[in-house]
């Protein structure tokens, strides 16, 4: 496992019995490319395996939790297109299956309690990071949105929407692309609590330390009982199914425009600039 100095975008430290993972790419609003996601996954592995860690906190540096996927193609992203720029759906499916759905399901089932501390904007792919966590604490300036219908997609890869909000609010969020406030998210049960921004970090750590006092095996099994209940209700199968549906929209976009999404990022930003 690389030390902090060898990682580019993610920091990891242990505070008493709490493993703290920090998204540390604030200059890009913690946008996620492959290096970012692999480093994040490695830090979750480290915290999950450590006997010194009983609870894991995921937080973000900067004004915003995360702007979602980093769509810029450079040497930190895999090559998923032909030399002529046309796209392979099979390569994209495989990559997203591993890096979005796969990581999300893996983090969801880490056998230790996980807490996300969220401030500022949490957009689209950012939801792939927070929904697999067990508890979410939101700063009072946090907002949550999945505006990718504007890009010709049907929602992000980890379809927590319906489970987190219920069908009607999930549809409203997807159909309009509107950002949900922290207060709305609390009311609907998507976040556990909303705190003033300056209290986000102390509050998250206090909760983590409180939980860390309990027996780790009891915590592990309490988590397993809840997750297993969701899976018996169909969550695991539904997440897989929604991921495949998501890829029909990538396939449609590729067939129409040669690119996995329909609108350009600038178009989307223009449409959403008032939000
Ligand atoms: Zn996708």
Structure confidence by residue, pLDDT tens digits, 112-161:
999 999 999 999 999 999 999 999 999 999 999 999 999 999 999 999 99
Q: How remote is the CA of residue 89 from the centroid of ligand 1, in Å?
A: 10
Q: What is d(CA 262, CA 192) in angstroms, rounded to the nearest whole number?
A: 35
Q: How remote is the CA of residue 168 from the centroid of ligand 1, in Å?
A: 23
Q: How remote is the CA of residue 151 from the centroid of ligand 1, in Å?
A: 11
**Gyration radius of the chain's alpha carbons:** 18
Positive or negative CA dihedral for 201, 202, 207, 211? positive
Name all domains of the chain by residue range, CATH numbers in brackets: 4-274 (3.90.226.10)
pLDDT over threshold 60, residue 221? yes
Q: How remote is the CA of residue 227 from the centroid of ligand 1, in Å?
A: 24
pLDDT for res 45: 98
- Using an 8 Å Cβ cutoff, are 149 and 174 in contact? yes
Q: How remote is the CA of residue 260 from the centroid of ligand 1, in Å?
A: 8
Q: How remote is the CA of residue 65 from the centroid of ligand 1, in Å?
A: 20
Q: How remote is the CA of residue 198 from the centroid of ligand 1, in Å?
A: 34
Average pLDDT over residues 16-32: 97
More confident call, 267 vs 88: 88
pLDDT for res 220: 98
Q: How remote is the CA of residue 53 from the centroid of ligand 1, in Å?
A: 33
The band of 3, judged by pLDDT with boundaries at 50, 70 and 90, is confident
Q: How remote is the CA of residue 97 from the centroid of ligand 1, in Å?
A: 9
Q: How remote is the CA of residue 70 from the centroid of ligand 1, in Å?
A: 12
Q: Of 58-62, 108-112, 258-262, which range is least confident? A: 258-262
The band of 14, judged by pLDDT with boundaries at 50, 70 and 90, is very high
Q: Please, what's the b/e burial string for 212-248 (b: 16 or more CB within 10 A of its CB; e: otherwise)?
A: beeebeebeeebeeebeeeeeeebbebbeebbeebbe
CB neighbour list of residue 141: distance below 8 Å, 6 or more residues apart: 119, 120, 182, 197
User: 40-84 pLDDT, tens per residue?
Assistant: 999 999 999 999 999 999 999 999 999 999 977 778 888 888 888
Q: How remote is the CA of residue 162 from the centroid of ligand 1, in Å?
A: 18
CB neighbour list of residue 235: distance below 8 Å, 6 or more residues apart: 163
pLDDT for res 274: 47
pLDDT over threshold 90, residue 96? yes
Q: How remote is the CA of residue 264 from the centroid of ligand 1, in Å?
A: 15
Q: In what order do the strands lie in the sheet with 180-181?
A: 121-123, 143-145, 180-181
């Amino acid at each position: 496992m690389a030390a902090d100095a060898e990682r580019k975008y993610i920091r990891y430290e242990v505070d008493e019995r709490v493993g703290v993972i920090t998204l540390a790419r604030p200059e890009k609003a913690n946008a996620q490319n492959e290096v970012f996601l692999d480093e994040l996954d490695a830090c979750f592995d480290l915290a999950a395996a450590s006997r010194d860690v009983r609870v894991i906190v995921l937080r973000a540096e900067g004004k915003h939790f995360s702007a979602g996927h980093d769509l810029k193609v450079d040497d930190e992203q895999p090559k998923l297109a032909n030399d002529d720029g046309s796209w392979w759906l099979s390569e994209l499916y495989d990559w997203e299956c591993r890096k979005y759905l796969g990581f999300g399901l893996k983090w969801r089932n880490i056998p230790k309690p996980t807490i996300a501390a969220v401030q500022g904007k949490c957009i689209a792919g950012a939801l792939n990071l927070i929904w697999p966590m067990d508890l979410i604490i939101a700063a009072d300036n946090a907002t949550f949105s999945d505006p990718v219908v504007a890009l010709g997609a049907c929602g992000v890869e980890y379809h927590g929407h319906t489970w987190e909000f219920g069908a009607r609010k999930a549809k409203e969020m997807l159909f309009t692309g509107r950002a949900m406030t922290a207060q709305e998210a609390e009311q609907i049960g998507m976040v556990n609590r909303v705190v003033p921004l300056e209290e986000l970090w102390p509050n998250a750590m206090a909760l983590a330390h409180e939980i860390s006092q309990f027996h780790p095996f009891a915590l592990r099994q309490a988590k397993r009982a809840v997750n297993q209940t969701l899976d018996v209700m169909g969550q695991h199968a539904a997440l897989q199914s929604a991921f495949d549906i998501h890829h029909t929209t990538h396939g449609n976009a590729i067939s129409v425009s040669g690119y996995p999404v329909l609108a350009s990022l600038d178009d989307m930003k223009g449409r959403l600039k008032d939000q």
